[in-house]
């Protein structure tokens, strides 16, 4: 398959840090594309995502709609359903934050926040819930400047915590910035687990279990281990693996097929719910969207601490 010019070329930000994460920008581009659909057709909505995509990328897509369509069709053939799974993930995580708010959420920690805009767009967070956005300093510094430009200043309810999960201690950095372990907390890791080594995933989960009060929760997404190590038999899995190696954003962590529950139970979590593609397809893709394919390779999982 001949590859058309990529809309957001990778700079290998996750593996060979040389600037902000291009994957974070690519996810923002998915949110832009979905948000531009009419209300009854979109799966998720983020009015701020557009500020986090290179204006040249948006201008190119606007003035070359045929090329942009050709590119998204090319990636859909390469990674069938993945774009829709990423957009369903945004919606699922949004809905989870909203229901956590209804259940008395007091603190939100967004790990690998990238250009996540939930702190600024989900009603009920501002003024009630302290939000910690944790990300690699190279990406967070770019985000902080953009947030200042959008809102004129940094919002009071958000604390920015620059951390490299591979080399720094998350717990120490969070504690130093005012993280309160006595508050009911939700930890989000969206599009992060796969980009950090298994040891860093373990350390993060261990921090959550040991340093959050009863009833706190974690929600994250993951790929199966076979996709990460390149042994996946599905063509889509091989394609995702090979593409990410090629753009120097190789995957590092996945869980063995069907073992996410055991994986989290062994690490001290309970009330574990593994969300399959079939489940989120049923939740969000109805009517006009019922024929949109999702990827069976992207899972979500949530669990609580005792």
Ligand X SMILES: C[S@@+](CC[C@H](N)C(=O)[O-])C[C@H]1O[C@@H](n2cnc3c(N)ncnc32)[C@H](O)[C@@H]1O
Q: Quick check: helix, strand or coil at residue 188?
A: strand
Q: Which of residues 149-178 bind ligand X (CB under 6 A)?
A: 163-166
Name the token pair of 184: 């009911």
Name the token pair of 277: 């593609």
Taking the complex as a whole, the smallest distance from the CB of residue 221 to ligand X amounts, in Å, to 9
Q: Is 190 in the site for ligand X (CB under 6 A)?
A: yes
Taking the complex as a whole, the smallest distance from the CB of residue 152 to ligand X amounts, in Å, to 23
172 backbone dihedrals φ, ψ, rounded to 5°: -60, -45
Stretch that binds ligand X, among 68-76, 106-114, 169-177, 210-218 (CB under 6 A): 106-114
The Cβ of residue 69 has, within 10 Å, a number of other Cβ atoms equal to 11
Residue of 29, 32, 105, 113 that binds ligand X (CB under 6 A): 113
Q: Is 241 in the site for ligand X (CB under 6 A)?
A: no
Which residue in the block uniquely carries the two structure tokens 């690998």? 112
Rounded CA Rg of the chain: 18
| 3 DSSP assignment | P
Q: Is 116 in the site for ligand X (CB under 6 A)?
A: yes
Q: Is 222 in the site for ligand X (CB under 6 A)?
A: no
Q: Is 303 in the site for ligand X (CB under 6 A)?
A: no
Q: Quick check: helix, strand or coil at residue 6?
A: coil
Q: Which of residues 14-73 bind ligand X (CB under 6 A)?
A: 14, 21, 23-24, 27
Q: Quick check: helix, strand or coil at residue 9?
A: coil
Taking the complex as a whole, the smallest distance from the CB of residue 24 to ligand X amounts, in Å, to 4
Which residues are at the interface with ligand X (CB under 6 A)? 14, 21, 23-24, 27, 112-116, 135-136, 139, 163-166, 190-192, 195-196
């Amino acid at each position: 398959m001949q590859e058309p010019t990529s809309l957001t070329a990778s700079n290998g930000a996750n593996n060979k840090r040389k600037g902000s994460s291009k994957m974070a920008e690519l996810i923002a581009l998915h949110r832009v594309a979905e948000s531009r659909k009419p209300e009854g057709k979109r799966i998720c909505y983020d009015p701020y995502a557009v500020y986090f995509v290179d204006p040249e990328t948006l201008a190119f897509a606007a003035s070359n709609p045929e090329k942009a369509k050709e590119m998204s069709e090319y990636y859909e053939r390469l990674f069938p359903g993945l774009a829709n799974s990423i957009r369903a993930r945004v919606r699922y995580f949004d809905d989870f934050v909203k229901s956590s708010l209804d259940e008395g959420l007091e603190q939100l920690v967004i790990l690998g926040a990238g250009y996540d805009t939930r702190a600024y767009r989900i009603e009920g967070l501002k003024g009630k819930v302290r939000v910690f956005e944790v990300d690699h300093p190279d990406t967070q510094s770019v985000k902080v400047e953009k947030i200042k430009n959008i809102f004129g200043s940094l919002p009071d309810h958000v604390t920015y915590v620059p951390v490299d999960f591979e080399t720094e201690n998350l717990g120490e950095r969070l504690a130093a910035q005012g993280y309160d372990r006595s508050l009911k907390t939700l930890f989000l890791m969206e599009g992060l687990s796969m980009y950090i080594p298994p040891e860093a995933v373990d350390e993060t989960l261990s921090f959550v279990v040991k340093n959050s009060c009863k009833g706190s929760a974690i929600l994250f997404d993951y790929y199966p281990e076979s996709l990460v190590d390149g042994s996946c038999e599905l063509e889509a899995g091989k394609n995702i693996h090979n593409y990410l190696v090629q753009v120097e954003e190789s995957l590092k962590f996945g869980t063995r097929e069907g073992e996410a529950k055991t994986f989290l139970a062994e690490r001290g979590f309970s009330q574990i719910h593994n969300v399959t593609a079939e489940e989120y397809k049923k939740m969000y893709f109805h009517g006009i969207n019922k024929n949109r394919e999702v990827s069976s390779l992207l899972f979500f999982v949530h669990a609580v601490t005792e």
